Amino acid sequence: MTAVLDVRDVKKSFGGITAVDGVSFDVQEGEILGLIGPNGCGKSTLFNCILGQLTPSGGEVRVDGKLVTGQRPAELNRLGVSRTFQLLQVFPKLSVRDNLILAGQEHRGSMLSRLFGPSDAGLTATADQMIGFFKLEHLANEPAGGLSYGQQKLLDAAMAFMGGPRLVLLDEPAGGVNPTMLGDLKERLIAINRERRATFVVIEHNMEFVMSLCSRVMVMAEGKVLAIGKPDEIRANPAVIEAYLGH
């Protein structure tokens, strides 16, 4: 079976600093891969290389077997690759519902057909379904900028799913989210993963969250892959404990 995401020997250097140094891994359909490592180990840079925000200095990225290295983020998104951001990235002045419609509209028809089609691109029902799924009903018409941090995190995640993606890369979805809401988020992610066979790669520092959510975990250190395996194996790996988890 072809991997949904196949990363081969990706490198990225900024001047003399090599942030990502020959990383290879693959993610199979339906998998949730956790990506952990100390701050500055190259996780977010790796994400940005995969997603076209940065052009890798070397290596290849394939999505469903198709070479996508260096493609622009918008093109990748339309191929079914979606993401969330480490720092909050919603559209503050648009309503929650409009944020979600916006997140899905470019997957509907051509640019010209959208101009003359319905103003919601036929997405109000889908958006409301997503709003219900993430328990944001009472906030649907509020400007996204007025939501609490945790609610905006939920919205950010919900937006990533509007285009019906095959692969979602989540950059620290749990950062700054309170424990109750975190439980909600995890439950939602697992549900989407099962129901829609969506494949995830998750960067996260919250160990409990990663270990309970992910089917496999990859550990990075200094731009390289230190270890990759099932959560239990990672927990027991001496090199990982040395570099990251601590004694």
Partner 1 sequence: MSKHGRLLLAALAIVVIGGLIIVPMNFNRYGLYILSQWAVMTIAAMGLNLTLGYAGQVSLAQGAFVGIGAYGAAILTTHGWPLIASLGLVIVICFIVGWLLGYPALRVQHHYLAFVTLAFSTLMFLVFRNESWLTNGIYGISNIPRPEILGFPTRKPLPFYYLCLGSLALVTLAMWWLIRSPWGRAFMALRENPIRAQSLGIDTRRYTLMAFAIGSVLGGIAGVLYAPLTQYVDPVPFNLQLSLDLLMMVIVGGSGFMFGPFLGAMIAVLLPEWLRVAEGYYLMLYALAVIALLIYSPTGILGILDRYLGSRRTQAASALRAAAQSKLEAAQ
Residues of this chain that interact with partner 1 (CB under 8 A) are 51, 53, 72-74, 77-78, 82-83, 85, 89-94, 98, 101-103, 105-108, 111, 114-117, 119-121, 159, 162-163
Amino acid at 225: V
Q: CB nearer to partner 1: give 108 or 224.
A: 108
Q: CB nearer to partner 1: give 138 or 247.
A: 138
CA-CA distance, 243 to 247, in Å (whole number)? 10
Q: CB nearer to partner 1: give 56 or 163.
A: 163
- Nearest approach in angstroms of CB 146 to partner 1 is 9
CA-CA distance, 241 to 36, in Å (whole number)? 12
- Nearest approach in angstroms of CB 9 to partner 1 is 24
CA-CA distance, 33 to 42, in Å (whole number)? 16
- Dig out the tokens for 186 from the structure: 């995890």
Nearest alpha carbon to residue 222 among 38, 12, 41: 41
Q: CB nearer to partner 1: give 40 or 92.
A: 92
Q: CB nearer to partner 1: give 9 or 75.
A: 75
CA 184 to chain CA mean position, Å:
17
Task: Count the Cβ atoms, other than its own, within 10 Å of residue 139.
Answer: 20
- Nearest approach in angstroms of CB 126 to partner 1 is 14
- Nearest approach in angstroms of CB 113 to partner 1 is 10
Q: CB nearer to partner 1: give 55 or 212.
A: 55
Indicate left, alpha or beta for 166 from its phi (over 0: left) and psi (-120 to 50: alpha).
alpha
Question: What are the Cα distances from residue 24, in Å, to 4, 7, 67, 226?
Answer: 14, 5, 15, 11
- Nearest approach in angstroms of CB 214 to partner 1 is 22
- Nearest approach in angstroms of CB 231 to partner 1 is 28
CA-CA distance, 171 to 15, in Å (whole number)? 25
